[in-house]
Amino acid sequence: MKEGVMLSRTLTFSLLVFVMFIWGLNVVAIKYLVTELPPLAMQGTRIFIAGMFAITVLYFLRDLRKLTRTEWFYAFLAALFGQVGHHTLLAMGLVQTTATKAGLILGLIPLATVIFSMIFLRDRPTFVRVVGIFLGFMGVAIVIFQKGEGLSSVSRGDLLIFISMISQAFSFILIKKVTTTLSSRQLTAVMLLIGSVFILISSFAFEPGNVSEMTGKSATVWAVFFTSAILATGLGHILYNAAIQQIGAGETAVFNNLVPFFAIVGAFLFLGEAIRFMQVFGFILIVIGVLLGTGYLEMKMINRIKQRKLLKTG
């Protein structure tokens, strides 16, 4: 029985590393796509395809049911923050900043989620968590504020990516409320479809001629587009939510530390972006901050102490 559990956890960990890999490269993919396609129209279409893929998968898995009014309300709000707010600002921000910076800023999502949990869900902060949150945000500050440039180094794109990160983190609080009664997988699919409709509507208002700009592109552009939509956004979210159900949200969230790493490497390999020492230093601070701020290391230490006490008393 233990071997089966270990195999299951090993498979779950392997799938999570794979998801973090494609999510990190997805930041690079979106940076590439916003240079070839109108950002809002691209994001809206990409997310709609991801939502249709997710709904189709869940239909065959028989994991669909009618939502209650309360569930629709929270799904709508979560879609506004997690899809419309996050993906719209992400696309607009990537037009004006690098994929490397974006990946590192998005690495703060677990810490921002912890802060919102403290505010809205009344989770008690510990000293270790406060230190972790401080280190994480210091890491992003180092990435954004380049040496000797001060506030002038903060681009509009950096700010949009930061707000995008905040919007995504807040959506997780709404998701936590509604997934007490609704499957997280179905909620994700519904959010993708709701969010994509709003983004597409806004694209017609802010991007005149977006339909003509979406045509006549190379096979490479569409290969990146559909891979991003189906593999990263559609399948990625399904696998991530399955991991949460398997090993818990806390342990799953720790794997998000790999997203900035893969984004940095991907930006270097595919976009030719330079990797600077201060960005690496900032990344290390963000990783330490997430491990401390989410309570992961603290919980591991407490569990080890409990196990030692049990062994001594046994």
Number of domains in the chain: 1
CA distance 22 to 27: 9
DSSP H helical ranges for the chain: 2-36, 39-60, 69-79, 86-94, 99-106, 109-120, 127-144, 156-178, 184-206, 210-213, 219-226, 236-247, 249-254, 258-270, 277-293, 296-313
- Give the mean model confidence (pLDDT) for residues 98-118: 86
Q: Residue 148 has what pLDDT?
A: 47
Going by pLDDT thresholds of 50, 70 and 90, the confidence category of residue 117 is confident
- Give the mean model confidence (pLDDT) for residues 59-70: 91
- How confident is the model over 255-269, as pLDDT tens digits? 877 888 899 899 999
Residue 34 tokens read as 């916003």
Residue 149 tokens read as 């440039």
Asked whether the predicted pLDDT for residue 183 surpasses 90, the reply is: no
Domain enclosing residue 161, as ranges = 2-208+216-313
- Burial class of residue 12 (count of CB atoms within 10 Å of its CB; 0-12, 13-18, 19+): buried
Q: Give the residue with greater pLDDT, 48 vs 114.
A: 48
pTM (2 d.p.) = 0.83
